[in-house]
Structure formats: structure tokens, C-alpha cells
Amino acid sequence: MIAIIDYGSGNLKSIRNGFHRIDAEVLVTQDKNELKKADALILPGVGAFGTAMDNLRKYEDIIHQHISDDKPFLGVCLGLQVLFSESEESPEVKGLDVFPGKVVRFPETLRKDGLKIPHMGWNNLNIRQKSPLLEGIGQDYMYFVHSYYVQPDDDEIITATVDYGVEVPAMVSQDNVFATQFHPEKSGVVGLEILKNFIKRV
């Protein structure tokens, strides 16, 4: 069973529909027992880091145990950012700390170069290293909507980046944990291939 964590901050309908388009059954749930039994967990997210973490606290142990049990985990957009230690958006709020590092806001200087904040729209990937989720994926365009981006302490977890005035980690992965800053479910046929590749891990 693949479960999407319904914690009140997710783009649940969008990500669920993405999996339905590839004929994958997913359960959207707040039920802790169902989440504990899941073969794979998906953490979507839109909104503010602090609010998301407030809503996630009751699932924090389940998420860490799932990852510790080496079961596949996928974070999307804000679901990537909360995997890190902290965010400039909510300085007093501790993240899930799965990955050491911080989340920072795009510098205002980007506006001088004609780049808007938030970063919204299509941008092509720069593949840094192989990842099971990137099988069959090249310098393809993915859909982004975000004002903050991650700065991992360990660059080795970055599997793909995009250029938006600064180098933005677009995807990170380590062992059974995968996370994307872009929305694969909104990124057309190529984005759905990433979801298919995740299913293969389950």
C-alpha cells in the first residue's frame, strides 16, 4: 500500500490524481495506523514551512521510523523542504532533519535580472548523478512553484538542479528517500515517468 500523508498542508488531489493517471492505487489518510502499515509514504506540501511542521509533528515519529525501516519515501515541493533541519521562512521551527541543511529564500537581487519570486513555471533539469527516479529522464522540463530552496550540508544528496539565477537543488535522494522541489504530477508525461519510477521501488 502506498499512502499519502494528509496533514492539512498538501496538494493532495493533484498528487493523488497523478498516481491515478499511471494506474497506481494510493490511499490519502490521516490515520496513523494506516501510515505505519504503508509500504511507501508520500509527503506532498504547499504553504508555509512553520504551519506544515506544526501539522506534521504528530506524524514525525512515523516518518522517521518508515525511513529507518528502509521503505520508499517521496517528498514533493514543501514535502522536500520540511525534510531539512530549518528554514528562513520560520526561523524558530525545527524541520524533520532527515537531511542536515537549511531552506533559504531566493535573493531579492534576482528581480534585477528580470526573474520573478516565486519561481513559477517550467525549468529544465541538470542531472548531477544517477537516481532510480531519474531513469529515462534527461534535461527535461519540470514545473516549479516556490519562493524558497534547499541548501543541503552534503552536496552528494543532490541528484538534479535547475538554474534560476542561483543553482537550485531540484531533486535530492539518499538510499530509500527521494524528494523533488518540482511537482512531478504537474510536469506532463515526463513527470509521470518519475512517479512510475517511484512505484518500481515499492
- All structural domains of the chain, each given as residue ranges with its CATH number in brackets, are 2-201 (3.40.50.880)
Query: Grid coordinates standing for 86?
Result: 530549518
Query: Grid coordinates standing for 57?
Result: 509533528
137: phi then psi, degrees, rounded to nearest 5: -105, 135
In contact, 202 and 2? CB cutoff 8 Å: yes
Q: pTM of the prediction?
A: 0.96
Q: How many residues does the chain have?
A: 202
Condensed to tens digits (0 to 9), the pLDDT of residues 45-95 reads 888 999 999 999 999 999 999 999 999 999 999 999 999 999 999 999 999
Condensed to tens digits (0 to 9), the pLDDT of residues 141-187 reads 999 999 999 999 999 999 999 999 999 999 999 999 999 999 999 99
Report in angstroms the alpha-carbon separations of 188 from 113, 162, 173, 181.
28, 17, 22, 15
Which residue, among 155, 175, 159, 56, has the nearest Cα to 101 in the 3D structure? 155
Q: In 4-158, where does DSSP find H-type helix? A: 12-21, 32-37, 49-56, 60-68, 78-81
**Would you name the residues annotated as active-site residues?**
77, 183, 185
